[in-house]
């Protein structure tokens, strides 16, 4: 199975433009799964709920449906971040679109970063995974700052994720030390797909530092982009290899767990 991560610079507030770019890239890349960054249909640095409200999209909107149709016609699993409006709630969400529309769903970011708390509601649906039987893969979604919580990856792995996808807009580089460990301790593939570029609002500038990575389940780097380059990274993965959690004849990282000792 082939997966691809798209590192690029969304244009803040230019939804139509960003969607066109995402649609064109989906067309042009030969892959089974394609992952784009967090909030890539809108840009990142919102300052108020009012701003988000104006640009956010319902998961059942025509715009998202156009991306769904592309997923189906191209037979690709498509994952991207967008500002979601659901009734009077606003979420920092990822769409996980499957060729079979019935499987398509939305993950709402559980841990909000920095000024997101002034703009979005916290996701209230616990971590979940989606199995696509026809492609024989189970995908576990999280978004960016969720990485700081090892419980996020652990929850997804215990639910059966083969591949954790983490659309991101990262502004630090410390995650590089941690994410390979999340892949190893859970024996899962892990794709952190970041954006590049800067956004300046009210004299505050955020620099998004790229370096998107796809990790193998032993924590090895399968593909990596640079700090500033617009780039599509590719890897071949074998989801079934993540499902046996033993690493010698006596140890299994899941059945050796002793949750009642952990005081969580």
By CB under 6 A, name the binding residues for ligand ACM. 38, 113, 144-145, 169-171
Taking the complex as a whole, the smallest distance from the CB of residue 261 to ligand ACM amounts, in Å, to 31
Task: From the candidates 21, 38, 199, 224, give the one annotated as an active-site residue.
Answer: 38
Taking the complex as a whole, the smallest distance from the CB of residue 122 to ligand ACM amounts, in Å, to 13
Catalytic residue check, 124 = no
Catalytic residue check, 187 = no
User: Of 144 and 188, which has the nearer Cβ to ligand ACM?
Assistant: 144
Phi, psi of 65 (to 5 degrees): -65, -35
Taking the complex as a whole, the smallest distance from the CB of residue 167 to ligand ACM amounts, in Å, to 9
Catalytic residue check, 144 = yes
Taking the complex as a whole, the smallest distance from the CB of residue 112 to ligand ACM amounts, in Å, to 8
How big is the CA angle at 14 (ends 12 and 16), to the nearest 5 degrees?
150
- Closest of 85, 18, 17 to residue 49, by C-alpha: 85
Phi, psi of 84 (to 5 degrees): -105, 135
Burial class (CB in 10 A: 0-12, 13-18, 19+), 153: buried
Taking the complex as a whole, the smallest distance from the CB of residue 54 to ligand ACM amounts, in Å, to 20
Task: From the candidates 144, 166, 187, 224, give the one annotated as an active-site residue.
Answer: 144
User: Of 116 and 132, which has the nearer Cβ to ligand ACM?
Assistant: 116
Task: From the candidates 21, 70, 109, 224, give the one annotated as an active-site residue.
Answer: 109
Burial class (CB in 10 A: 0-12, 13-18, 19+), 172: exposed
- The catalytic residue positions are 38, 109, 144
């Amino acid at each position: 199975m082939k997966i691809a991560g798209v590192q690029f610079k969304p244009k803040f507030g230019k939804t139509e433009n960003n969607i066109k770019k995402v649609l064109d890239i989906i067309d042009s890349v030969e892959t089974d799964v394609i992952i784009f960054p967090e909030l890539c249909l809108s840009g990142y640095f919102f300052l108020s709920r009012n701003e988000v409200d104006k640009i956010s999209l319902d998961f059942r909107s025509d715009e998202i449906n156009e991306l769904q149709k592309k997923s189906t016609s191209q037979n690709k699993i498509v994952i991207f971040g967008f500002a979601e409006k659901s009734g009077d709630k606003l979420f920092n969400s990822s769409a996980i679109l499957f060729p079979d529309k019935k499987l398509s769903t939305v993950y709402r970011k559980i841990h909000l970063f920095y000024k997101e708390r002034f703009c979005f509601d916290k996701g209230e649906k616990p971590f979940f995974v989606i199995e696509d039987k026809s492609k024989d893969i189970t995908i576990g979604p999280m978004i960016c700052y969720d990485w700081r919580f090892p419980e996020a990856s652990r929850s997804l792995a215990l639910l059966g994720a083969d591949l954790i996808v983490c659309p991101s807009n990262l502004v630090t580089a410390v995650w590089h030390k941690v994410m390979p460990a999340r892949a190893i301790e859970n024996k899962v593939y892990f794709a952190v797909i970041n954006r590049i570029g800067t956004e300046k609002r009210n004299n505050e500038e955020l620099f998004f530092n790229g370096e998107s990575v796809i990790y193998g389940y032993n924590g090895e780097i399968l593909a990596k982009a640079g700090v500033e380059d617009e780039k599509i990274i590719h890897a071949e993965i074998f989801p079934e290899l993540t499902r046996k959690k033993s690493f010698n004849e006596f140890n299994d990282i899941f059945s050796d767990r002793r949750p009642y000792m952990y005081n969580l």
